[in-house]
């Protein structure tokens, strides 16, 4: 190792570091693992003035410091030619500076790096870097420019191109697997820790966490001591995240991992080695693919679902997820982007927040942009609310924490632009904490009977879990029986009542419901009495992660009065495939009937009286035919020959163990009530 590498200290530039050299050769840099490429014999002895590198991740730029007289017009070309040989051996960027001007060179072509047809002129002065005179914004610009050039210029291209979109799915699964195998903790708890470290890296790359709080600082400490690195993360970096994103009234924030730290937030030093491995995995990913400033949208939407492909995670995590293809279709059907200022949107059983987050991202101009800080304040004119049930137990907080973390990731562009402490706290108060709220009670959302009504409700209510009897008992103890009169069995019947009661007149609801609900005549009568039925879409069996139960999308509009009579028909549709396999792998497939269904529904809503479907999967059932039916299992409107023609097999109805027990309990209750009525009428 050279004397430079022993005695010189590196200096941070965003997530990179600058190291001034002098006598160090490329061969010595390779021995010390700064250089990760193969060197040619004539390159090994060359000596760069300085390097910009990613700790444990290789050189990203070579820096050459010259005097002004060496960069005159007559000498500049020779300087570029000489030092390009050094730079192209190890990286894609050569920076030449005399302290007054900076020239950014593509060493492969020896031409100036350009952006928008103009040569890049961003100042890079080593004295400012070493003297820590760089502002946070200037350091971020330099780091972003180096990454941009590193990724997009090449042997025949001097112009900065479109920066790569990062998809960290493979990294997330790798780290999840490592934590799960090493600790033996349940898959759900491992997921929270993956998300926490992901957020740490994400916030660092977006210049929210800088200096002593950053991922870069943990890498520095990690090279000396994994224990010290974990201690610093727990005591400094993690506490900074909680300061920037304070808890809401429900006591939750955006992180809550409990493997690398304990419940009190103290470092769990027995996991320091695992922590070090995970941090290095993230850094290695950065070196190969770039930072997490530009994240693939599908990764954002499928961050949690992707873990369900791990067989061990399905049962404990499945209840929280609606496949994103279904979520996105429902959001598009809802026309949420057309709602006026002051409108209110709700998912009363939000899980990790998919419906509301897709509503935001699908409507960037009308909804997402309302979260842009104005004069340091965030005041969206459209209200979004997502509720989830919990208790004072830490494990019950985690789903809403994942929803808040998910929203933070969705807001990556805004966080990158508006990362002052004032703005970040506004995001916490008016976005994460206001939108997603944990209700600490046995009734959860069912206990919220005084909400202001909503213009739009999008939800997949709980119907897989058992325990509806205990909820009914809690309703009685809270004197809410009049609010929830017995209509049917299962939590889905209660959910339908809450949804309809909390819709404004003229408000719409799009609800995923199980086939069991579509057989409950009292519930259907209640819906018809209170709402106009717009659509019933039959989804295939095993559309959802944790249940073979057959489900439907039910779309309704709250009546303005009980006297309002439905005159138009009901849009019905049969879905065979949802764009992903309906097994544990949940891989994307070509088959997807959802887009055509959505297009047809939007055409139907534009002119209900005259819409005539041409798609054989669609039928508009007249209200005269639909209203008297005792069930809404709409697939029965197609003949067997029609279903065969569509490639739809007659599916056997499947239920899981919990659902079977729930169905039996419901049948016993109904039979008991029936027998008691008969006995009461006997002489």
Averaging pLDDT over each range in 103-112, 129-138, 370-379, 439-448, which range is the top one? Answer: 103-112
Its pTM stands at 0.83
266, two tokens: 């103290």
pLDDT confidence band for 462 (50 / 70 / 90): confident
- Quick one: pLDDT at residue 466? 53
Is the confidence at residue 316, as pLDDT, over 60? no
- Quick one: pLDDT at residue 15? 86
Q: pLDDT digits over 581-591, tens only?
A: 887 667 788 99
Which CA distances in Å does 627 have to 217, 530, 554, 568, 620?
66, 13, 15, 11, 13
- Axis crossing angle, helix 187-205 with helix 215-222, rounded to the nearest 10: 110
Q: pLDDT digits over 516-558, tens only?
A: 899 899 999 999 999 999 999 999 988 876 667 789 999 999 9
- Quick one: pLDDT at residue 665? 66
CA distance 351 to 188: 13
Is the confidence at residue 654, as pLDDT, over 60? no
- Quick one: pLDDT at residue 305? 58
Main-chain dihedrals φ then ψ at residue 577, nearest 5 degrees? -135, 150
CA distance 400 to 396: 8
Bridge partner list, 311: none
Which of 96-100, 314-318, 379-383 shows the lowest per-residue confidence on average (mean pLDDT)? 314-318
Which CATH architecture best describes the domain 450-656? 3-Layer(aba) Sandwich (3.40)
Nearest C-alpha neighbor of 494 from the set 454, 546, 459: 459
CA distance 158 to 80: 14
Is the confidence at residue 577, as pLDDT, over 80? yes
Which CA distances in Å does 496 have to 440, 442, 512, 513, 514?
21, 18, 10, 9, 12
Looking at the chain, the whole-number percentage of residues with pLDDT higher than 90 is: 58
Average pLDDT, stretch 331-360? 94
Q: pLDDT digits over 255-287, tens only?
A: 887 899 998 889 999 999 999 999 999 999 998
Cα of 482 vs its chain's centroid, Å = 39
**Stronger pLDDT, 344 or 466, i.e. the higher one:** 344
CA distance 26 to 183: 41
**Stronger pLDDT, 391 or 82, i.e. the higher one:** 82
Is the confidence at residue 629, as pLDDT, over 80? yes
- Quick one: pLDDT at residue 385? 97
Average pLDDT, stretch 160-182? 89
CA distance 12 to 134: 10
Beta strand 383-390 with 436-440 is: parallel
Is the confidence at residue 633, as pLDDT, over 50? yes
Q: pLDDT digits over 463-512, tens only?
A: 754 557 788 888 999 999 999 998 887 788 999 999 999 999 999 999 99
Q: pLDDT digits over 399-439, tens only?
A: 898 889 889 988 877 887 888 888 998 999 999 999 999 99
Cβ–Cβ contacts within 10 Å for residue 253, how many? 21
Average pLDDT, stretch 556-582? 94
Asked if 534 and 555 touch (Cβ cutoff 8 Å), the reply is: yes
Is the confidence at residue 333, as pLDDT, over 80? yes
- Axis crossing angle, helix 354-361 with helix 324-334, rounded to the nearest 10: 60
- Sequence-separated contacts (24+) of 217-226 with Cβ below 8 Å: 218/279, 219/55, 219/56, 219/279, 219/283, 220/55, 222/276, 222/279, 222/280, 223/55, 223/56, 226/272, 226/273, 226/275, 226/276
CA distance 671 to 76: 93
| C-alpha dihedral sign at 579, 581, 582, 585 | negative
To the nearest whole number, what is the mean pLDDT of the chain? 88
CA geometry: angle at 215 spanning 211 and 218, to 5°? 90
Is the confidence at residue 391, as pLDDT, over 70? no
Which of 392-401, 578-587, 589-598 shows the lowest per-residue confidence on average (mean pLDDT)? 392-401
- Quick one: pLDDT at residue 465? 47
Expressed in angstroms, the distance from the first to the final Cα of the chain is 103
- Quick one: pLDDT at residue 293? 85
- Quick one: pLDDT at residue 315? 44
């Amino acid at each position: 190792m050279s004397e430079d590498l022993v005695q010189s200290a590196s200096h941070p530039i965003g997530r990179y570091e600058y190291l001034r050299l002098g006598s160090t050769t490329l061969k010595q840099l390779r021995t010390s693992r700064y250089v990760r490429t193969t060197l040619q014999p004539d390159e090994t002895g060359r000596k760069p003035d300085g390097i910009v590198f990613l700790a444990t991740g290789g050189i990203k730029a070579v820096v050459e410091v010259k005097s002004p007289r060496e960069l005159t017009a007559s000498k500049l070309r020779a300087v570029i030619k000489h030092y390009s040989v050094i730079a192209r051996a190890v990286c894609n960027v050569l920076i030449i500076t005399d302290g007054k001007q900076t020239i950014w060179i593509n060493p492969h072509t020896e031409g100036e790096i350009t952006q928008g047809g103009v040569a890049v002129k961003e100042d890079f002065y080593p004295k400012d870097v070493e003297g820590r005179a760089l502002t946070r914004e200037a350091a971020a610009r330099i780091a972003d420019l180096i990454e941009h050039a590193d990724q997009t210029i090449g042997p025949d291209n001097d112009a900065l191109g479109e920066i790569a979109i990062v998809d960290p799915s493979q990294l997330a699964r790798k780290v999840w697997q490592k934590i799960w195998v090493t600790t033996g903790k349940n898959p759900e708890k491992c997921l929270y820790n993956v998300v926490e470290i992901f957020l740490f890296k994400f916030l660092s790359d977006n210049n929210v966490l800088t200096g002593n709080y950053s991922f870069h600082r943990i890498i520095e400490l990690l090279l000396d001591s994994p224990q010290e690195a974990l201690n610093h993360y727990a005591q400094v970096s993690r506490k900074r995240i909680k300061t920037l994103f304070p808890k809401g009234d429900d006591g939750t924030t955006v992180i809550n991992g409990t493997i690398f730290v304990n419940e009190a937030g103290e470092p769990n030093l027995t996991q320091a080695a695992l922590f070090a491995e995970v941090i290095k995995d993230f850094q290695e990913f950065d070196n190969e693919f770039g930072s997490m400033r530009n994240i693939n949208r599908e990764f954002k939407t499928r961050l949690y679902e992707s873990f369900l492909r791990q067989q061990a995670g399905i049962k404990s995590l499945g209840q929280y997820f609606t496949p994103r293809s279904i979520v996105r279709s429902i959001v598009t059907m809802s026309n949420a982007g057309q709602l006026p200022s002051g409108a209110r949107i709700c998912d009363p059983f939000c899980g990790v927040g998919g419906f509301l987050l897709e509503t935001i991202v699908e409507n960037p101009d009308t909804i997402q942009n309302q979260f842009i800080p104005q004069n340091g304040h965030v005041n969206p004119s459209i209200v979004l609310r997502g509720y989830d049930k919990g208790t004072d137990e830490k494990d019950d907080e985690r789903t809403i924490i994942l929803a808040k973390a998910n929203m933070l990731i969705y807001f990556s562009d805004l966080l990158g632009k508006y990362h002052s402490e004032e703005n970040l706290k506004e995001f916490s108060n008016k976005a994460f904490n206001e939108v997603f709220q944990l209700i600490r009670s046995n009734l959860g959302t069912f206990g919220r009977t005084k909400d202001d009504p909503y213009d739009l409700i999008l939800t997949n209510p709980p119907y897989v879990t058992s325990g509806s009897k205990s909820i009914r008992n809690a309703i009685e103890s809270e004197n809410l029986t009049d609010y929830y009169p017995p209509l049917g069995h299962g939590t889905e019947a209660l959910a339908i009542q809450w949804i309809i009661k909390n819709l404004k007149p003229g408000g719409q609801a799009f609800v995923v419901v199980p086939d069991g609900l579509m057989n409950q005549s009292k519930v259907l009568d209640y819906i018809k009495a209170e709402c106009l039925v717009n659509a019933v879409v039959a989804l295939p069996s095993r559309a959802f992660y944790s249940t073979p139960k057959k489900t439907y999308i039910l779309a309704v509009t709250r009546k303005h009065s009980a006297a309002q009579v439905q005159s138009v028909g009901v849009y019905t549709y049969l879905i065979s495939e949802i764009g992903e396999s309906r097994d544990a792998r949940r891989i994307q497939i070509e088959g997807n009937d959802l887009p055509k269904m959505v297009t047809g529904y939007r055409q139907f809503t534009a002119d209900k009286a005259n819409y005539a479907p041409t798609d054989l999967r669609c039928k508009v059932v007249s209200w005269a035919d639909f209203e008297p039916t005792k069930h809404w299992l709409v697939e029965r409107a197609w003949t067997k020959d029609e279903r065969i023609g569509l490639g739809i097999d007659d599916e056997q109805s499947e239920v899981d163990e919990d659902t079977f027990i729930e169905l039996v309990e419901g049948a016993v209750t109904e039979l008991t009530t029936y027998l008691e009525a008969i006995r009461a009428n006997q002489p």
